Structure formats: structure tokens, C-alpha cells
Amino acid sequence: MARSNSPGYPNMSLPKAISAVEKIWDADRTKEIDRVTAAKHIGYAGQSGASDKALASLAHYGLTEKTGKGEIRVSRLAMDIVCPDPSDASAKPRAIRTAAMNPKVFKDLRARFPGHVSEDSLRNYLIREGFNNVAISPVMNSFFDTFRFLEQYKDIESGGPSDDSGEESDLQYHDEGDDMIPAAEMSPMKAAPISAQPQVGTPALNETEWMRSPLGRDKAVRLLVTGKMESKDIGKLIKLLEAQKAILADDDEEDPDDL
């Protein structure tokens, strides 16, 4: 966690926190477990300063909850992200939006900067709010990466609540800093092997298969859309794909000790 003279903050971005809590969910579901076990589930040899930062980040987003002395469990909010209700298409994006706004520092930053914010403005604001130099970069990286990730769900979410500002995000996002999870993990539906594609089934009643194309000898892409695709939507899709490309490039250099 941050030094004592800095307010609390998540030390990792939301997508990376989701990747971590998913490992806990896969191992123990919502069972109460000690922090040492939780640390091992997310890739650490045991409890340490680094693992404490990672577990504290999960708590900041509301992905875990304390159940007793030294014990935690996966929260209901995390379940709605890693194992959403199949009958509610907006459950996952709604839960992701809630998790993104759970850290107090992120709420404060969105209230102060509801639209565009530069790195210099954000850094100066954090300094005035009492964050020390060691904490500023992790806060900024987590904030920018989290809300860049959230942008991917803005057009997917149907009828979900907006953030506290009541405005769509127009934040300036940056690629530096905290690594994000692979695109296959952060998409609404994890990519299936090409051999499993026939099992995907037909599109839902409100979906249209807009495109299907091979990407190589053992890869293919299938794009389902709701509503009418327009030229402006293609532009948005290109931006999303560019963001996914950057995320995969970052993931190639990911160090497990940075969790």
C-alpha cells in the first residue's frame, strides 16, 4: 500500500485486478480464505509487501471483501464480472463501471476532472491532495488505464448507470505504466479456439453477424453487432482494436512480480 502520508489508492488498474480476482474465483469461488492463500492464487510465493499491495487493490475496487482477521473472499460484485448472470446482458458492464468508481481517489478525480485531463494537471492535483512522489505514478497509471478500459464497455452496456459525473468520459488516456490484461481476458466474451467456433451457435435475436473472416491458418474473427452499423461505428471499432493491440503488446513484456 501507499506510504502513510498518501491517501489510499489501488496499485493496479481495474483490468489487471479483474484478472487477479478471477484466479481466486477459479480456485476457491466465494469461499473464505486467508491472505496467504489468496496471494498464492494470484501468483506470489506467499504474503509480502507486493502481494499486500495487490490484495489491497482488489479491495479498493470492491472485488474482495474482508470476512475475518486475515481472511477475505470474492465479492458479489466480482462474481458479476467473472461469472455474470447470462440472462442480464448488462450485468457485467454495469459491475465493471461500479468497480471502476469504487476507489475513493477515482471518484474524487472524476468529480474534479469529468472530461479531458492532462498528465500535468492530474499530477499537480494529486500533489496538492497529499500524495507523495512514490504514489503519484501508480495512481495516475491505474486511473488512466482503468478508464481507458471502461471506454470499451460504454457502447456495450445497455441501460446501465452512468458514472457520478453524468457525462461520457473524454479523458486522455496513456499507454505507459501498469500493464493491462490480454485482450482475450478483457473482452466481454473470452476468445474460443478456432476449433470451438462451430459451438458458438447462432446470434441472439437482437444480434447480426456483421463480419466473419480468417486471420491465419488457425485463427478467425467473428463480429456480432446489435443495431445498424454506420461509418462512425467503424471508427470507434478501429479505436477499440488499436487499444487491444497496444494491450497485447504491453502484455508481451508483463512481469508477474508487477501484480
For 90-127, b where at least 16 C-beta lie within 10 A, e where not — what string? bbbbbbbbbbbbbbebbeebbeebbeebeeeebbeebe
**Same-domain check for residues 43 and 100:** yes
Q: Dump pLDDT digits (tens) for 177-203.
A: 333 333 333 333 333 333 333 334 455
Which of residues 123, 157, 181 is at a domain's end? Answer: 181
**Same-domain check for residues 149 and 209:** no
Residue 247 within any structural domain of the chain = no
Type of residue found at 133:
N
Cα–Cα distance for residue pair 211/225, rounded to 1 Å: 9
**Same-domain check for residues 37 and 75:** yes
**Same-domain check for residues 139 and 223:** no
**Same-domain check for residues 112 and 202:** no
Query: Contact at 8 Å (CB) between 61 and 17?
Result: yes
Percent of the chain at pLDDT above 90?
Answer: 53
**Same-domain check for residues 64 and 176:** yes
Q: Copy the grid coordinates of residue 107.
A: 471518484
The pLDDT-based confidence of 216 (bands split at 50, 70, 90) is low
Residue 223 within any structural domain of the chain = yes
Residue 93 within any structural domain of the chain = yes
- Averaged pLDDT of the chain: 77
Question: How big is the CA angle at 250 (ends 244 and 251), to the nearest 5 degrees?
Answer: 90
**Same-domain check for residues 53 and 117:** yes
Pairing label, strands 33-34, 219-225: unpaired
Domain count, the chain: 2
Query: Contact at 8 Å (CB) between 125 and 62?
Result: no
Which of residues 150, 181, 212 is at a domain's end? Answer: 181
Find, among 194, 191, 174, 139, the residue nearest to 250 by Cα.
Answer: 174
**Same-domain check for residues 169 and 210:** no
Question: Lowest-pLDDT range, 16-30, 73-87, 99-113, 150-164?
Answer: 150-164
101 or 173, which is more confident: 101
Cα–Cα distance for residue pair 246/221, rounded to 1 Å: 18
Kindly list the strands in the beta sheet with 71-74, ordered across the sheet, starting from the edge strand earlier in the chain. 33-34, 71-74, 64-68
Q: Structural domain of residue 206, as residue ranges?
A: 191-228
Residue 85 within any structural domain of the chain = yes
**Same-domain check for residues 80 and 204:** no
Residue 186 within any structural domain of the chain = no
Residue 244 within any structural domain of the chain = no
Residue 6 within any structural domain of the chain = no
Residue 256 within any structural domain of the chain = no
